[in-house]
Structure formats: structure tokens, C-alpha cells
Amino acid sequence: MTTFDDSLVPLLGKKTADALETGLGLTTVGDLLRHYPRRYDERGKLTEISGLELGEHVTVQARVKSARLKNMRARRGEMLDAIITDGTSELHLVFFGRGSRKVERDLLPNTKAMFAGKVSVFNGKLQLAHPDYEIIDGLGENADDEAAGPVGTSAASKFADAFIPVYPAAQGIQSWNVAKCVEQVLAVWDGVEEDPLPADLRESEDLITLEKALRDIHRPDGWPAVTVAQQRLKWDEALAVQLALAQRRHSATARPAAACPRVPGRVADAFDARLPFKLTSGQQAVGDRIAEDLSTTQPMNRLLQGEVGSGKTMVALRAMLQVVDAGRQSAMLAPTEVLAAQHARSLRELLGDLGQAGELGGAEHATRVTLLTGSMPTAQRKKALLEIMTGEAGIVVGTHALIQDKVAFADLGLVVVDEQHRFGVEQRAALSARPGDAVPHVLVMTATPIPRTVAMTVYGDLEVSALRELPGGRSPIKTSVVPTAEKPQWLDRAWQRIHEEVRKGHQVYVVCPRIGDGEEDETKPPKEDKKSTGDPDKRPPLAVVDVANRLAAGPLKGLRIDILHGRLAPDDKDAVMRAFAANEVQVLVATTVVEVGVNVPNATVMVIMDADRFGVSQLHQLRGRVGRGSAPGLCLLVSEMPGASATMQRLRAVESTLDGFELAQLDLELRREGDILGAAQSGTRSGLKMLSLLRDEDTIEAARAVAQEIVDRDPNLTAHPGLATLLAGVLDEDRADYLEKA
């Protein structure tokens, strides 16, 4: 009997099984059957080439437009240069070596084939270097031969019907190889012994059995069969995630929190009375809701999302002061030392004498803001630890150093996690899981707006609040793409523009993907195959040190330039930021350490070098560092990518809108949702293989309601062994641990 847990080795042979494991991480029958087709190509329907992404391993069905041999000048031998088309866009292919003549005989004009390889760029054009291919129909000498193409099996004999399943593939294991393996396994698989979904649920939601869904998803007899199979498999994934989150919500009530009701006439009221501006309606409404949460023993677990500059820090500070007034401490966790120091400095400035407890001139009932980072000098660190332990520090700001065992809080009532996406879940969980009778309330903040379906799925155990309104005084920001491959003169104009802004007294950020001081960088570019001709990584990503030196000696000569990155000593980082804030530095060349929290209202220009190497949300975050004062901001996205590439289209999307919520939805779509059930965010392998956070909101919402009802009656799923098995199958140990900690 062949079951889900059986190894693929005896079924497919060691060589094939090893290739599946190495390339795709598939080792069992269940792994392979849950490796679903990415899409289905209909025979004769060509793949849209314009949607291909640089660096992506793709499988495309296209028609050969031309193929011709060339002699290679740099080395002996021949090279075949071919062009394939979908009728509107073209993709270049290049083949090297002695096999080029055979390829030329296969890829005659008008031949239709499937091609698989990694998309690179050469001379500004997208290409596949030495791709695998399979002839579907055409005039080549092997068009009807079982040995067509270098992979050795013809697509014509393998795919007898009109549907061609296209599977996620990898180097050494192509889509058609996966299809053949699936066919062999389905032939001997004995099916599912017991369906994990209860029969009444399948009936109420009109779902087919798991066995039929798995067979139909791989070998459908038409589009209706695909749709029905997908809906069942989406339900499996949605319900598994929502069961895990419902269990998380259930367990969150096991330990109470310390109630921190408002105390009139103390620091919070004094701070509100001094505010030189009026809170936005959103800040007021969210603040009131948080105040209610803090007043109860039900642990607050709230996600506060808002646009860059929407005033989240003000909301957090008012919440922290409420906790301080109740006699407890608040901790703010920041992802970098630069941001932690910036927060501590900003909070002290906002509080004034209200944050000077124990100091001459400190206000009545004042508190103290204490900074703690991992690389502070020993004497400063000991002083900070003592202030935290005695409770003298009402507000503690720090990096992950705050969650070390040596840090003992007197009475921690609230944890504020800033820019939650920059932390590992283990770090975020450590503060809220500290020993004691009560747990602290938790407020998680992000300037990266989160689509509703992601909030329901990834942050399903959190209440979600949003700030969409920007406070008064924010200036408009204009964004422009600088396509240096097509219009190199535009970059010259960018440097001229910087001189113009500096002459007006303003300042500029120039952001690069890496540091470039010879050590391993804090921001790594995507790994690329160096053997591919035309690989964009032939030029490494631009580096802070190199760019700063070139600018100082060239286009920005005469301006005061300094650098900032994560490996500078804390005192050096702080000194650079202070100098920049004081306009002693006119151009700051930095890595993404300036992405969040850095507030210099006089900075008006953000130049992002190699902008194609950053995500949509990251670009939006960086853009938010300018336009924070009275003068308008300018963001320049510099890239060498071809104008027709999907990467350049992504940059154009950032150029076209300042709406972070719209961009967040776009980012989710472009990243293919990543692995939302674990720490990986590569976008290449997702813990959710069928469920789409973009398109399946109704399914997610329905599964959430069903999961909550089940867990309310049966928290440990004792009476639902099938669902417990489903949960374990979709959520492996690492992903379950991730959701538990998140």
C-alpha cells in the first residue's frame, strides 16, 4: 500500500528522487502530491513573456522566431542565438558548445516548444542562457522523436490532452520531469485512508474529497475540475492556519495581564495638555481603543499599522505614559541601534521635563527614558540595567538586547514592537513570554500597510488598527525612476538636482544595497548563477563605501558627505546621525539603516541606487524619510533594468502612487506571498501552496469562523483527529512554532 509517508526512492529510483529532494525539497509521496502545478498551459496558448521576472526560474511555451549560429570571438567554438516570441513580446535564448548545431536543427522557425531556465539580462534584454527545452510541435528533426530536446522525452508523447501542467521547478529538475514523476506516483498511490475534513463540513461547503482533489489537480479533464480541486485544497490550507491561530487566541487568555487604567492628573494628562498640535481623528480613536485595552486584565495584542509619518510613535508614547501612570514600565523594541537611539532621543525631546525623573528641573510625577543596546560601554550598560531593575526607568528603549536574561524589569506592563517585520519571531516572543504571574500587553507597529487577508492569516491572533490620515505639515513627495541603461544622462541630472537642493540649505540621502567594506554585507543581493552569460550579478550591487568615494571625488565634489551603516560602532552611528540632523552633513550615503524611524525634516531628496534590488514596501519606507518638513520631497529610483522588464514595471508602480496600502497589495502580488507560515520571505516556496491571500478572502474568512467554533468546543482537537492530522500536515513543526510565537 502506497501512502503519503512513503519515500519516493523505491517508486522513482534513487537518481530521480535525489534530484527532487535537492532541487525542490520533496522526499515523500505526500510532498510530491502537494507540489501543485503553478499553472496550466493549454496546447497552442503561448506564455506571456512580458510578465517574466529577472532571476526567476521559468517555464514558458513559445514559438521560435529565429535561431542562428555565431562564432564566438573570445573563445573557440560556436554559439546559437535564438529568439522566441508569444506574438507580442520576445525573449532571447543563447546556447554554447558543440551541441549548438543540434539545437539549431530542433529550433527551426515556427517550432513551438517549452523552454525552462533562469531569466537573466544581457545588453538590456531579457534572456535564458542555455535553457532546457521540449518540442511540442514543429519542424525540427526531432519533433516527433522520443529524444526531442536535451531532456530526453518529448512533450508530444507525455501530454496527450490539451492541458499541460506547469510545476514549480529548479535547476536540474524541470516542470516536465516533475509531471512524469507525478504520473508514476499517481499510478500506484492507494489514496487517502480517511479524509481529514469532517463530512458535514465538506457537505456544507460543497467540497470534494481530498483524494479526488489531489488526482484532479494534477490530471484534470477540464477547467471545471481544476476549479473544484483548487477550492478543496485551499480549504485545507485555510482551515489549518486558522485552527492554529484560534488555538493561539485561546491560549493567550491563560495568563492575565496587569490592568493599567488611566490615572487622571499625572504624566499622560500633562503630556496631552502640552501638545503643540491637535491629534488626528485616527490617532485619537486608536488611542482611545488602546487605552481601553490597557485598562483590563485581558492581554492586549494589537497591531497598529499606518502610513510612513502617520503618527504611530505618538500613539505608542501616549499608551506607554498610561502604563507608567499605573505604576508599571513600558518597553519599546526597535530593530536597529540607530533607530533605538533615535526613538530614545525623540521621546526625551517630546517629554521634556516630564521625562527627567530624578533630575534637576524634572516635573512632578516625571518618568525616565532609558536606552539599552547590545554594544553600550560597560558603565552605561550597568547604569541602564539598574534603572530598569529598580523601576526608575518608566520607559525603556532598546534593541534585541532588551530580551536577554540579564535584563530584569521591575514591573513590565507594555511591550511596543516597532517595525515588527524587521524582527525574528523568537525575539518578539521573548519579552511577552517573561516569567511572572501576569503577561505584558503588546502593541505591534508597522509602517508597512498589511492587506486584510494577510492580517487575518498572519496576524490572526491580533486586533488590527490602522492610521490612514497623515498629520498636518507633511509636504508632497514626487517620485521618479532614473533608467540609467536607457537614459544615462538622467543620472547626471540627478546629481545636479542634489546640488540645487543643497544650495537651498537642504540635505540628501543616497541609499545603497550593501556596505562594501570588504566584509560580508548586512544587505545581501539575491544569489545568482554566475555561469549564466549576461547575469546581472556580474556587476555586484552598489556599495555605500564605493559610492560615497565616487560621489566625493566626482559629481558631488565639494559637498559634505558621510556614511552610515549597521557595522559602524554605536557612538559613530550616533555621531553621524547627530551631524546629519544638525545639517553638518549634507549628503548621507547609507544602507537601509535609515529605512525606518529616522526623522530629519530638512532632508528633501532620497536617491535609491540599484532600486530594483529593494522590495516595494521597502522603497515606500525609504521614500518616507523625505518630505517630513515644509519643503517638498523628491525620491529618485535609480536602476539599470530594461524598460520592458517586470522589475521596471514594479518601480513604475512605486513611482505612480504614494498610497502605502495600494503598494502593500502590489507587493504581496509581486512577491507571490512568500512563506507567510515561516521566517522565509523569498517568495519562491510558500507554506501556502494553493491558498492565495490576494484572491481567497472569502475562503479565509469562512475558515476563520469554522476554526473558532471548533476550537471553542475542542481546544486541543481531541475529538477531531482528522483536523489534527491536517494541521500537522500543512503546518510543520517550524511553521507551527512560528505561528505560536508570532
What is the pLDDT at residue 413? 94
Spatial separation of the C-alpha atoms in residues 232 and 214, rounded to whole Å: 9
| Whether residue 81 has pLDDT greater than 80 | yes
DSSP code of 56? -
Q: How high is the pLDDT of residue 668?
A: 67
Residues 317-335, mean pLDDT to the nearest whole number: 94
Show contacts of 696-699: CB within 8 Å, 24+ apart: 696/234, 696/238, 696/453, 697/452, 697/453, 697/456, 699/231, 699/234, 699/235, 699/238
Check residues 734 and 159 and name the one with the higher pLDDT.
734
For 155, the enclosing helix (H) or strand (E) is helix 155-158
What is the Cα–Cα distance from 233 to 183, expressed in whole angstroms?
19
Q: Would you say residue 737 has pLDDT above 90?
A: no
Q: How many residues does the chain have?
A: 742
Q: Which candidate, 388, 412, 571, places its Cα nearest to that of 369?
A: 388
What residue type is assigned to position 345 of the chain? R
Q: How confident is the model at residue 719 (pLDDT cuts 50, 70, 90)?
A: very high
Residue 95, H or E segment: strand 90-96
Q: What local confidence, expressed as pLDDT, does residue 547 receive?
A: 95
- The pLDDT assigned to 549 comes to 94
Mean pLDDT score, 12-40: 92
Residues near 352 by beta carbon (within 8 Å), at least 6 away in sequence: 274, 363
pLDDT band at 518 (very low <50, low <70, confident <90, very high): low
Give the DSSP H/E element, type plus range, for residue 64. Answer: strand 57-71
Mean pLDDT, rounded, for 621-638: 90
Asked if the model's pLDDT at residue 110 lies above 70, the reply is yes
* Average pLDDT score over residue span 444-452: 74
Which stretches of 512-662 are assigned E, i.e. beta strand? 561-564, 587-590, 603-608, 633-639
Q: Is the pLDDT of residue 130 over 90?
A: no
Average pLDDT over residues 166-195: 88
Mean pLDDT is lowest, of 208-222, 546-560, 658-672, for 658-672
What share of residues in the chain are helix, strand, coil (percent, to 5)? 40, 20, 40
Q: How many CA atoms within 13 Å lie on the side-chain side of 239?
A: 26
Cell digits of residue 722 = 482528522
The residue that leads in pLDDT, 655 or 525, is 655
The pLDDT of residue 219: 92
pLDDT band at residue 535 using 50, 70 and 90 as cut-offs: very low
Q: 594 with 620: CB under 8 angstroms?
A: no
% of the chain exceeding 90 in pLDDT = 43
- What pLDDT, in 10s, does the model give residues 581-607? 999 999 999 998 887 667 888 999 999
Whether the per-residue pLDDT at 159 is higher than 50: the answer is no
* Alpha helices per DSSP H over 25-99: 29-33
Helix (H) or strand (E) holding 63: strand 57-71
- Give me the helices (H) in 504-601, please: 544-553, 570-581
Whether the predicted pLDDT of 48 surpasses 90:
no
- What digits encode the pLDDT tens for the residues 341-372? 888 988 999 999 999 988 888 888 899 999 99
| Run of H or E including 108 | none
Greatest alpha-carbon pair distance for the chain in Å reads 92
Please provide the average confidence, as pLDDT, over all residues in the chain: 82
Residue 514 has pLDDT above 50, yes or no: yes
Cα distance between residue 286 and residue 306, in whole Å: 11
Identify the pLDDT of residue 278: 87
Name residues whose C-beta falls within 8 Å of residue 227's C-beta, 6 or more positions apart in sequence: none
pLDDT number for residue 679? 40
Q: How confident is the model at residue 531 (pLDDT cuts 50, 70, 90)?
A: very low
Position 681 scores a pLDDT of 34
Query: Would you say residue 155 has pLDDT above 50?
Result: no
β-sheet with 587-590: strand ranges across: 477-483, 633-639, 603-608, 507-511, 587-590, 561-564
Between CA 734 and CA 184 the distance in angstroms is 30
At residue 639, the pLDDT reads: 94
pLDDT per position as a tens digit, 420-436: 554 545 554 565 566 66
Q: Map residue 71 onto helix, strand or coil.
A: strand
Read off the pLDDT band of 444 (50, 70, 90).
confident
The whole-number pLDDT of residue 145 equals 43
- Alpha-helical (H) ranges within 504-636 are 544-553, 570-581, 616-623
Residue range 555-579: mean pLDDT, rounded = 90
| pLDDT reading at 5 higher than 80 | yes
What's the pLDDT score for residue 597? Answer: 61
Entry pTM: 0.65
Using CA atoms, how far apart are residues 432 and 415, in angstroms rounded to an integer? 7
Task: For residue range 272-309, list pLDDT tens digits in order.
Answer: 999 888 888 999 999 999 999 999 998 888 888 887 77
Distance CA 651, CA 279 (A): 34
The answer to whether residue 143 scores a pLDDT higher than 70 is no
Q: How many whole angstroms separate alpha carbon 23 and alpha carbon 178?
A: 11
The pLDDT assigned to 59 comes to 84
Query: How far is 202 from 706, CA to CA, in rounded Å?
Result: 12
* Residue 338: predicted pLDDT: 80
Q: Is 184 exposed, middle or buried (0-12, 13-18, 19+ CB in 10 A)?
A: middle
Residue 608, pLDDT score: 97
- Secondary structure element (H or E) that encloses residue 180, with its range: helix 175-188
C-beta contacts of 129-132 below 8 A and 24+ residues apart: 129/93, 129/94, 129/531, 129/532, 129/533, 129/534, 129/535, 130/94, 130/95, 130/96, 130/532, 131/93, 132/174
| Residue (of 380, 400, 382, 384) closest to 392 by Cα position | 384
Query: Average pLDDT in the 224-252 region?
Result: 89
Helix axes 697-713, 223-252, angle to 10 degrees: 40
The pLDDT tens digits of the residues spanning 380-390 come to 999 999 999 99
Q: What is residue 13's predicted lDDT score, i.e. its pLDDT? A: 93
Binned at pLDDT 50, 70 and 90, residue 545 comes out as very high
Mark out the alpha helices in 362-437 (DSSP H runs).
378-390, 425-432
Q: Element (H or E) spanning 272, and its range?
A: helix 267-274
**Residue type present at position 68:** R
566 backbone dihedrals φ, ψ, rounded to 5° = -70, -15
Cα angle 382, 383, 389; round to 5 = 85
pLDDT for 269 beyond 70: yes
pLDDT of residue 156: 38
Confidence of residue 629 (pLDDT cuts 50, 70, 90): confident
User: What pLDDT is recorded for position 72?
Assistant: 72
